[in-house]
Amino acid sequence: MYCCSSFAQTSIQRDPQIEKMVNEVSKDSLQSYIKKLVSFGTRNTLSTQSDPKRGIGAARNWVLNRFNEFAKESAAGGRLTAFIDTVTLAPDGRRINRPILLGNVVARLKGADANDNRIFIISGHLDNMRSNVMDSVGDAPGANDDVSGVSAVMECARIMSKHAFPATVIFVAVSGEEQGLLGANFMAEKAKQEKWNIEAVLNNDIMGSNNSSETNIINNTKIRVFSEAFSVNDTHY
């Protein structure tokens, strides 16, 4: 006597445009972004903004230059534009000890459909920290937290800017994450005031981690996706 189980075959229908973009991801590009951003020594939000080779100012200028290079190579009809969105913050008695100019590096890929006002955001945080978050001088490579995430954002911008999408996609390297999500809050307030129709946000943080403390799973070939189970529109909470 024996038993056997049969399983229905599952057919996976891959979107050819998405598959093409996935195949364009370059390991060499990702490594080059990581090595360059680490080379700025520190990207602490309180670090120098005047040194051309060190600190948060130099790092965000480099990301902006790369976004502008992607714009020149774009096949999406000049729809990719990049800038540094800034706000001046006063000391807060916690993690800002002096007035600073906070800047998010933004690349906006305008949607091809004028009637589609949806916005998709792909983000990572540019800043980093040492054990003492107020140490703005000492080296803090931050290759994983969060250069890995910013590199993913940049590679998405490089590839996706060569394609046209009906909705707008915003790629952003935010600052001030380690000081209390300051750059993300600045962008969220702007989105609220300007009534952006945000469809989804994909935030990338510590993408290169092999830390198994939460799941006991070690696998550096996959990423974990964290998402709410239900929309606030479904639960009203």
Q: What is the CATH number of the domain that holds 218?
A: 3.40.630.10
118-125 and 168-174 strand pairing = parallel
Per-residue confidence (pLDDT) for residue 210, from 0 to 100:
67
User: Whole-prediction pTM value?
Assistant: 0.87
- Coil vs helix vs strand at 60: helix
Low-confidence ranges of the chain (pLDDT < 50): none
Per-residue confidence (pLDDT) for residue 213, from 0 to 100:
67
Per-residue confidence (pLDDT) for residue 222, from 0 to 100:
73
The H or E element that residue 94 is part of is none
Integer-rounded Cα radius of gyration of the chain: 20
For residue 66, tell me if it sits in a domain: yes
Per-residue confidence (pLDDT) for residue 223, from 0 to 100:
73
For residue 67, tell me if it sits in a domain: yes
180-230, pLDDT tens digit by residue? Answer: 999 999 999 999 999 999 999 999 998 876 666 666 777 777 777 777 766
197-203 and 168-174 strand pairing = unpaired
Per-residue confidence (pLDDT) for residue 2, from 0 to 100:
53
**What separation, in Å, do the N-terminal and C-terminal C-alpha atoms of the chain show?**
55
For residue 12, tell me if it sits in a domain: no
Which residues constitute the domain of residue 179?
26-232
For residue 193, tell me if it sits in a domain: yes
For residue 13, tell me if it sits in a domain: no
For residue 45, tell me if it sits in a domain: yes
Q: How far apart (Å, rounded) are the C-alpha atoms in residues 175 and 188?
A: 13
Q: What is the DSSP string of 3-33?
A: -------------HHHHHHHHT--HHHHHHH
77's tokens? 């009809």
For residue 71, tell me if it sits in a domain: yes
Per-residue confidence (pLDDT) for residue 86, from 0 to 100:
97
Per-residue confidence (pLDDT) for residue 208, from 0 to 100:
73
For residue 206, tell me if it sits in a domain: yes
- Give how many domains the chain has, as a whole number: 1
Q: Positive or negative CA dihedral for 13, 18, 24, 28?
A: negative
Per-residue confidence (pLDDT) for residue 206, from 0 to 100:
87
